[in-house]
């Protein structure tokens, strides 16, 4: 291994989130792969015995449910997907529970939706539960709650869920196990000579240009979701490793510092926990558009957003909701907690704080978004 490569970040990591995809967990849809799940659980146990805290984010419930129901093609109707998830989740949880127990580890099933992480109180409750489980040496096995979720509140893929969990518990490393050796500059299934990317900076826009769409009929992901997950996880300081899930002893070897797969390195500076929660919202209730001067003050000077710099308001939101800040071009540059509702914000556009009481009937905060509750996204 060349000396200029960064060692695996798992070597010194204390808290690790591992995500495995549907094609690996279900052996390309043939049913839960007991041998593979058992092997990952064995490696998780090795990590735990070495003093690491581990969380497993596992796809596979819908694929396993399809197999149990005798469905060869993934359904499109939401109620059929929910039914498949309900059936498959039973087998998935049982498999992890039995395999982890063989190695002396307890397990806990945790099902999440975006609504759980978008609501501040539920977010903190989920964090507290996961940290308590880790303290008890219980391995949380996390999946999206497909049984009750709908398209409006879906994470969309478990790569995103893995990144959000990494941020939730402030993990040191996110490991995404997939059916590819790692990240390539082009699709290796179409271009055998595609260059392998062994190391890059998480969030580098060039990575998104390299990645293609979903490559499996079973899952909803693809390399692009892994690139975006690494970018998201980097916000809380977690680097990401994308590696082949069937690489022998992959997790244990990574923990010893060996370089396997593609390493996407996080920036050293972590986002504050509250601001990371704001940044991690997948669905926003609305947005405000700002002029060039206000955009520059937000990005370059770290200022709060004042209504006088706002030129428009989109959507319907309440005080305390997370909203986006957009330039005139429509590009999002920031997001934060609104101090005013959308109705009030429309009244305050282009107005100075001295006019607030006349317009609203009361005097409140001078900022639309205070800098302490605002995060720059671009």
295: exposed, middle or buried (C-beta count within 10 Å: 0-12, 13-18, 19+)?
buried
Helix 34-49 and helix 78-101, axial crossing angle in degrees, nearest 10: 50
Q: How many alpha carbons fall within 13 Å on the CB side of residue 119?
A: 9
Which tokens is 209 given? 């240009």
Q: Is it true that domain 9-274 has CATH number 3.40.50.800?
A: no
Q: What pLDDT, on the 0 to 100 scale, is given for residue 2? A: 41
> What's the whole-number mean pLDDT along residues 110-135?
91
Q: How many alpha carbons fall within 13 Å on the CB side of residue 138?
A: 15
Q: What pLDDT, on the 0 to 100 scale, is given for residue 90? A: 93
Lowest mean pLDDT among 76-85, 120-129, 216-225: 216-225
CATH superfamily, domain 284-376, is PUA domain (2.30.130.10)
Q: What is the mean pLDDT of the chain?
A: 89
At 310-345, the pLDDT tens digits run 999 999 999 989 999 999 999 999 999 999 999 999
Q: Round to whole Å and give the CA distance between 371 and 297.
A: 11
Q: Going by C-beta distance under 8 Å and a sequence separation of 6 or more, which residues neighbour residue 61? A: 84, 85, 88, 89, 92, 143, 146
- Domain residues of the chain, as ranges? 9-274, 284-376
Rounded to two decimals, what is the model's pTM? 0.82
At 216-269, the pLDDT tens digits run 433 444 788 899 999 999 988 999 999 999 999 999 999 999 999 999 999 766
- pLDDT confidence of 8, banded at 50, 70, 90? confident
Q: What pLDDT, on the 0 to 100 scale, is given for residue 121? A: 87
Q: Would the CATH topology of 9-274 be identical to that of 284-376?
A: no
Q: What pLDDT, on the 0 to 100 scale, is given for residue 17? A: 98
Q: Going by C-beta distance under 8 Å and a sequence separation of 6 or more, which residues neighbour residue 222? A: 211, 212, 213, 214, 215, 216
Nearest to 109 by CA among 147, 138, 131, 84: 138
């Amino acid at each position: 291994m060349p000396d200029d490569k960064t060692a695996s970040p798992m070597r010194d990591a204390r808290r690790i989130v591992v995500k495995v995809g549907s094609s690996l967990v279900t052996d390309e849809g043939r049913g839960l792969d007991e041998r593979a799940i058992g092997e990952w659980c064995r490696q998780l146990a090795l990590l735990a015995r070495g003093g690491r805290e581990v969380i497993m984010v596992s796809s596979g419930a819908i694929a396993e449910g399809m197999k149990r129901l005798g469905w060869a093609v993934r359904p499109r109707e939401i109620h059929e997907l929910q039914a498949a998830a309900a059936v498959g989740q039973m087998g998935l949880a049982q498999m992890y529970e039995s395999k982890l127990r063989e190695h002396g580890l307890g397990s806990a099933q945790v099902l999440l939706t975006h609504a759980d992480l978008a609501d501040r109180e539920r977010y903190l409750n989920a964090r507290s539960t996961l940290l308590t489980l880790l303290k008890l040496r219980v391995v949380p096995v996390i999946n999206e709650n497909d049984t009750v979720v709908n398209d409006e509140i879906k994470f969309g893929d478990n790569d995103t869920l893995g990144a959000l969990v990494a941020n939730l518990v402030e993990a040191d490393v996110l490991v995404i196990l997939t059916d590819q050796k790692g990240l390539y500059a082009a699709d290796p299934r179409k271009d055998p000579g595609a260059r392998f990317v062994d190391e890059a900076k998480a969030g580098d826009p060039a990575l998104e240009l390299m990645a293609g769409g979903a490559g499996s009929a079973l899952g909803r992901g693809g390399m692009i979701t892994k690139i975006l997950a690494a970018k998201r996880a980097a916000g809380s300081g977690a680097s990401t490793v994308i590696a082949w899930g069937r690489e022998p002893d992959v997790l244990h070897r990574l923990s010893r510092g060996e370089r396997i797969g593609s390493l996407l390195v996080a920036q050293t500076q972590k986002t504050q926990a509250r601001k990371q929660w704001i940044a991690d919202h997948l669905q926003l209730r609305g947005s405000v558009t700002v002029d060039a001067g206000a955009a520059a003050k937000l990005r370059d000077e770290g200022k709060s957003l004042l209504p006088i710099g706002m030129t428009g308001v989109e959507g319907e939101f309440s005080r305390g909701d997370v909203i986006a800040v957009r330039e005139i071009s429509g590009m999002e540059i920031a997001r934060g907690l609104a101090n005013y509702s959308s109705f009030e914000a429309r009244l305050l556009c282009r107005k100075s704080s001295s006019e607030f009481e006349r317009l609203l009937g009361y005097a409140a905060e001078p900022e639309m978004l205070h800098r302490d509750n605002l995060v720059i996204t671009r």
